[in-house]
Amino acid sequence: MIKPVDFYMPGGRSGVLLIHGLTGTPTEMRFVAKGLNRNGFTVYGMQLAGHCGSEEDLLKTGWHDWYRSVCAAADRLRQDVDHMFVAGLSMGALLALKLAADRPDEVDGLGLFGTTFFYDGWTIPWIGKLSFMLPLVTSLGFGRHRKFHECFPYGIKDERIRQRIAGSMLNGDSAAGGLAGNPWPSLAEFYRLSFLVRRQLHTIQTPCLVVHAKDDDVASLKNVRMVVRGVGGPVETVLLENSYHMITVDQERNQVIERSSRFFNHIANTRFVHMPERAQVVAATE
């Protein structure tokens, strides 16, 4: 049974929607959420459909379901804020990009943390780097019960944090640590999403903050270059020196919080707030 582990932190009239990664959990966004909330933001750490339960729960869903849950979360947060920012980790960054492409008038800025279009980091074995072929493989009926297992260092350079999160994951607590492997059908869905988002990049005019570890063990800097060269809007890039893939929990998480807060506040302080048409008419007659 899937346990709801999403969280909502009320704050000011600028809000941040946080999206975790594939097989992940909102818990991996909680450090950043608390920091953003301390800095005055309303924060919603949403839970992707099919996540935080069993592998079977995940396999019942695909990228359309994950994206629908993002849209529903955005609708909820948008009711409480004047400016909405969307930040995602790994696959969560792709879902954030897609939301900005589809709803440009609703998303004021993006935080793209460890953006992953391809699993091509230094811990990924050669066969794992061929996983972009999984949409074809699974469509032919192969690999339904196969998966790629998570491996050391599990995206985390900080040994204390790694021991805690990896321990939860390996002990089967998916709500706290996520799943210990990526099922092939779910990875195929991820690559279908990746292909679609790459085709939409040029339409995105939303300002982007791209934060990525130089030594990312899961997604190489090639993924950063795809964003920087692909999107149509302004991009600010931050490369971290002492972290691995899970930058929202790793050793430089405070830098992620600080740079994100500064980036989002700058946009909120310089962007016009669109009033509903009826409210504008009332204001004009008073």
Instruction: Annotate 147-190 with DSSP letters as a single string.
Output: EEEP-TTTT---HHHHHHHHHHHHTT-HHHH--SEEEHHHHHHH
What is the average per-residue pLDDT within 168-173? 81
Give 128 or 27, the one with higher predicted confidence: 27
What is the average per-residue pLDDT within 98-119? 97
Note the pLDDT of residue 68: 98
Report which of 214, 223, 154, 213 is spatially closest to residue 182, judged by C-alpha positions: 154
Give the number of other Cβ atoms within 10 Å of residue 10's Cβ. Answer: 11
Distances (CA, A) of 27 to 74, 95, 122, 144: 18, 18, 25, 28
What is the average per-residue pLDDT within 63-83? 98
Note the pLDDT of residue 273: 62
Note the pLDDT of residue 128: 61
What is the average per-residue pLDDT within 156-171? 87
Backbone angles phi, psi at 19, to 5 degrees: -120, 120
Tell me: domain 7-285, CATH 3.20.19.10, correct?
no
Amino acid at position 94, single letter: L
Percent of the chain scoring above 90 in pLDDT:
73
Joined together, the tokens standing for residue 125 give 């074995």
Note the pLDDT of residue 201: 98
Band the pLDDT of 149: cuts 50, 70, 90: confident
Site of tokens 């008419």: 281
Note the pLDDT of residue 171: 83
Joined together, the tokens standing for residue 34 give 């608390």
Rounded CA-CA distance 152/286 in Å is 64
Range of lowest pLDDT (137-151, 221-235, 238-252): 137-151
Rounded CA-CA distance 26/179 in Å is 13
Band the pLDDT of 281: cuts 50, 70, 90: very low
DSSP 15: E
Band the pLDDT of 141: cuts 50, 70, 90: low
Rounded CA-CA distance 43/45 in Å is 6
DSSP 100: H
Give 163 or 1, the one with higher predicted confidence: 163
Note the pLDDT of residue 29: 97
Joined together, the tokens standing for residue 129 give 């780097």
Give 247 or 278, the one with higher predicted confidence: 247
Note the pLDDT of residue 168: 85
Band the pLDDT of 285: cuts 50, 70, 90: very low
What is the average per-residue pLDDT within 123-148? 68
pLDDT at 283 over 50: no
Backbone angles phi, psi at 203, to 5 degrees: -85, -10
pTM of the model: 0.91
pLDDT at 276 over 60: no
Band the pLDDT of 277: cuts 50, 70, 90: very low
Note the pLDDT of residue 282: 34
Domain locations in the chain as residue ranges: 7-285
